[in-house]
Amino acid sequence: MAECEYSITLIGAGTIGLSFAALHLTKNPICTVTIYDTRPDLQAYVKQHLPGYLQDADQSACFSRLQFADDLQAAVKDATTVQEQGPENADFKVSIWPRIEQHAPWDAIFWSSTSGIPASVQSAQMKDPSRLVVVHPYNPPHIMPLLEVVPSAYTSQGTMDRTLAYWRALGRSPVVVKKECTGFVANRLAFALYREACSLVAQGVVDVKNLDEIVQTSMGPRWSVAGPFKSYHAGGGEGGLTSFMDKIGGTVQECWDGSEKDVKKGKIDVGGKWQADVCRQADEAYGVVDTTERDEKTRKVLAAVGRH
Amino acid sequence: MAECEYSITLIGAGTIGLSFAALHLTKNPICTVTIYDTRPDLQAYVKQHLPGYLQDADQSACFSRLQFADDLQAAVKDATTVQEQGPENADFKVSIWPRIEQHAPWDAIFWSSTSGIPASVQSAQMKDPSRLVVVHPYNPPHIMPLLEVVPSAYTSQGTMDRTLAYWRALGRSPVVVKKECTGFVANRLAFALYREACSLVAQGVVDVKNLDEIVQTSMGPRWSVAGPFKSYHAGGGEGGLTSFMDKIGGTVQECWDGSEKDVKKGKIDVGGKWQADVCRQADEAYGVVDTTERDEKTRKVLAAVGRH
């Protein structure tokens, strides 16, 4: 199935666009990639920044399969797949898909990398919304395996099948999100923990750096191997999650009630009083983060769990 | 400093007790470990189950430094450290510490592995509550680096210093929790995400297995390398967490509002209607989890981030 997607057009050459370009070029050796972006220095920009994403790959082989377009019609006319990571606003996305639909081959499929604008909204002015599905990466996509695949009610089974088959063939982890919901799943989960983290720092229970240390030495490694349900299911022994909830449910509820009480006081909303101090602590703890080192370690973790 | 703790008495030989016994015996080659438990088959039980925790270590060398006691006075009389993981109820803990205090050397320090009963409660009937501190592991402690060190207002600096020095000398990650709060920090964070996970499954957005897959292919690996604050601080580029909150704060708040609305409907409390279906899904997805495989992979992840 992966052979279906051999001519991929990327709309938008920001960091997500370049990361996806690197992913396609390195993991799908038969594809060509066309990058469309309205920036005037597009080619120079990509030639400067793409190598940082290509790691140990044969760079000249990758660049030989890379094309540029400054005209949308030309960009999509031979595409098997159009993948969009343009500005994160609904007007832009609603207006660009009918233009893409008009010029792309009839059997091309369409992916949006949006982190929040559902396919049902984006496809409002398309003739055939069955071709569009959200494929939301976890940044940066050339390293992180997850892709949240979020169809609208109009997305066809054919679009879904081709989308899942492609990403699986590339060794990634596409996961279907069955209902469009605010933030999809990964960010909803991460932000729930992040809110509790902000709340605990705001209360002076722990500082920013120590909170990160706690996560890095417990949940991080554990959840790399077994997600929260599997972990608690294992924690319940032979009785599984049912037994875990019977035994530990009281503590779980106490923690939930504690969190709810703290948050209900209205303390932990974006822009609240807590925020400046948390941001200051992050500055002091980390300065500017070296993402190269982070990414190298992340690759090793993924290799350790057989994900790379 | 690590040499201070050379005679460690463990109160309670459940899975946490055995895991700590293995940790001390394998990482602290000069220590002796005394295990106290009221179970009649204590020695046979430990001899049967401890080897599973010792991995590649020299088992006979470990067992040669291991003693048993069925009498509390004998168990603690020569201890430099008494580490308690008995029944998780306050009455038990409040009543045992004065007895330990009475029979242990004057300069021994006391650790409780409790996941929820603060040192300030446990020490209510002690003559000198300065010697007691909670050292809450992330299960299983012979593998997971984190130890939440939670003092009461009475815990002395000397107790803290010796506690932190010991665990650091053993290559673990002791983190001080500055205020006693329900569930301490790790469980508070994990359960916050778990509640959102239960909520999303209950709404039919994603099933149990796919939710775990999402976490295992995104937050798990990321948070093994950089906790949530460091990750979002990096996500903000040179402007750090401040810039991240400026740019992404709207989405963060939308996710928080979405979560709050769902949970406020009263849907996601322990024992709610959602629970049976989530537990059934976990049974179907995982059966009985092979923790040996999980632990082996976890060791590899920890090695990948330089934690083992």
Q: What is the CATH number of the domain that holds B127?
A: 3.40.50.720
Residue A143 shares a structural domain with residue A223 = no
Residue A231 shares a structural domain with residue A153 = no
Out of B176, B204, B225, a domain closes at B176
* Chain B, window 74-133: residues with a beta carbon less than 8 angstroms from a chain A beta carbon: 115-116
Region A274-297 average pLDDT: 94
Counted domains in chain B: 2
Residue A156 shares a structural domain with residue A22 = yes
Out of B176, B206, B222, a domain closes at B176
Region A261-286 average pLDDT: 89
Residue B114 shares a structural domain with residue B234 = no
Domain range enclosing B98? 2-176
- Provide the 3-class DSSP secondary structure of residue B124: coil
Q: Test B301 with A301 for CB contact under 8 angstroms.
A: yes
Residue A146 shares a structural domain with residue A221 = no
Residue A112 shares a structural domain with residue A204 = no
Whether A153 contacts chain B with CB within 8 A: no
* Residue A58 vs residues A55, A61, A65, B249, B267: alpha-carbon distances, Å: 9, 5, 11, 39, 53
Q: Test A219 with B190 for CB contact under 8 angstroms.
A: yes
pLDDT at B295 over 70: yes
**How many A×B Cβ pairs under 8 Å?**
388
Q: What is the 3-state secondary structure (H, E, C) of chain A?
A: CHHHCCEEEEECCCHHHHHHHHHHHHHCCCCEEEEECCCCCHHHHHHHHCHHHHCCCCHHHHHHCEEEECCHHHHHCCCCEEEECCCCCHHHHHHHHHHHHHHCCCCCEEEECCCCCCHHHHCCCCCCHHHEEEEEECCCCCCCCEEEEEECCCCCHHHHHHHHHHHHHCCCEEEECCCCCCCCCHHHHHHHHHHHHHHHHHCCCCCHHHHHHHHHCCHHHHHHHCCHHHHHHHHCHHHHHHHHHHHHHHHHHHHHHHHHHHHHCCCCCCCCCHHHHHHHHHHHHHCCCCHHHHHHHHHHHHHHCCCC
What is the pLDDT at residue B1? 45
Could you tell me the CATH number of the domain that includes residue B231?
1.10.1040.10
Residue B26 shares a structural domain with residue B153 = yes
What confidence tens digit (pLDDT) does each residue in B117-158 have? Answer: 999 999 999 999 999 999 999 999 999 999 999 999 999 999
Mean pLDDT of chain A: 95
Residue A27 shares a structural domain with residue A129 = yes
pLDDT at A120 over 60: yes
Which pLDDT band holds residue A2 (cuts at 50, 70, 90)? low
Does B166 fall in a domain?
Answer: yes
Does A169 fall in a domain?
Answer: yes
Closest CA to A41 of A62, A19, A68, A81: A68
Region A104-116 average pLDDT: 97
Q: Test B229 with A220 for CB contact under 8 angstroms.
A: no
What confidence tens digit (pLDDT) does each residue in B35-84 have? Answer: 999 999 999 999 999 999 998 899 999 999 999 998 999 999 999 999 99
Region A289-303 average pLDDT: 93
Whether A212 contacts chain B with CB within 8 A: yes
pLDDT at B205 over 80: yes
Which pLDDT band holds residue A235 (cuts at 50, 70, 90)? very high
Residue A137 shares a structural domain with residue A33 = yes
- Name which residue leads in pLDDT, B43 or B2: B43
Residue A249 shares a structural domain with residue A143 = no
Of A39-48, B258-267, B284-293, the least confident: B258-267
Instruction: Determine what percent of chain B is predicted with pLDDT higher than 90.
Output: 92
Residue that is written with structure tokens 């069925």 in the block: B70
What confidence tens digit (pLDDT) does each residue in A161-217 have? Answer: 999 999 999 999 999 999 999 999 999 999 999 999 999 999 999 999 999 999 999
Does A181 fall in a domain?
Answer: no
Does A47 fall in a domain?
Answer: yes
Region A99-106 average pLDDT: 98
Residue A171 shares a structural domain with residue A193 = no
pLDDT at A271 over 60: yes
